[in-house]
Chain A
Amino acid sequence: QKEVEQDPGPLSVPEGAIVSLNCTYSNSAFQYFMWYRQYSRKGPELLMYTYSSGNKEDGRFTAQVDKSSKYISLFIRDSQPSDSATYLCAMEYGNKLVFGAGTILRVKS
């Protein structure tokens, strides 16, 4: 079993939709949770970083962590074609950083 599971998609939505991207994990030692966005043929860039359970909002993006269920989510409101990318979740404990496989998101105009 992988430490971090992420549905690869692709997830295809119309412009303006609310997008929900999710990851589950098995290691309760993970303390820090991140979401990265990766455009085609580019490197990942950090979108959101959270430490504890609960929600963190940044503009149209909301990151949610539920440690009791070992489940994290990224919500994108009012999705735009420019949001089309691969979204990678990542989790960290100590100095160990583990990435999900990434979900491909396509927002159609």
Chain B
Amino acid sequence: DVKVTQSSRYLVKRTGEKVFLECVQDMDHENMFWYRQDPGLGLRLIYFSYDVKMKEKGDIPEGYSVSREKKERFSLILESASTNQTSMYLCASSLDRGGNTIYFGEGSWLTVV
């Protein structure tokens, strides 16, 4: 089974802190994604990566950056956390670029106070 692991499930951070969310997948997928999920808004794509050291902006990249130094690892970085970044963050990986092969992690719940 494909496993996408988000090591931090629940975090509470202060405004202005730098936050790292880590994601690791074990299926050798080339494609990895970070989404945030908010009530009534569904999943919104923050950043994605189709290859190591490659990154592309999604629909809501402002306030975020990413790092992909190894194929299996995709990190989301909040340079200076703000209260409007309180949300659930979902990492995903996929075999191809389509939605039928995408696998999600269990999510990281971030609260910024």
| CB pair B4 A43 closer than 8 Å | yes
| CB pair B98 A43 closer than 8 Å | no
- Beyond A6-B42, A41-B106, A49-B100: 11 further Cβ-contacts under 8 Å? A34-B100, A45-B103, A46-B100, A46-B102, A46-B103, A49-B99, A88-B42, A92-B99, A97-B102, A99-B43, A100-B42
On whether A102 and B100 interact (CB within 8 A), knowing A42-B106, A43-B4, A43-B106, the answer reads no
Complex CA gap A92/B94 in Å reads: 14
Interface of B with A (CB < 8 Å)?
4, 39-43, 45, 90, 92, 97-100, 102-107, 109
Query: Is A1 part of the contact surface with B, judged by Cβ < 8 Å?
Result: no
The 22 sampled A-B contact pairs (Cβ below 8 Å) are: A4-B42, A6-B42, A8-B40, A32-B99, A34-B99, A34-B100, A41-B107, A41-B109, A42-B106, A43-B4, A43-B104, A44-B43, A44-B104, A46-B102, A49-B99, A92-B98, A92-B99, A95-B97, A97-B98, A97-B99, A100-B42, A101-B41
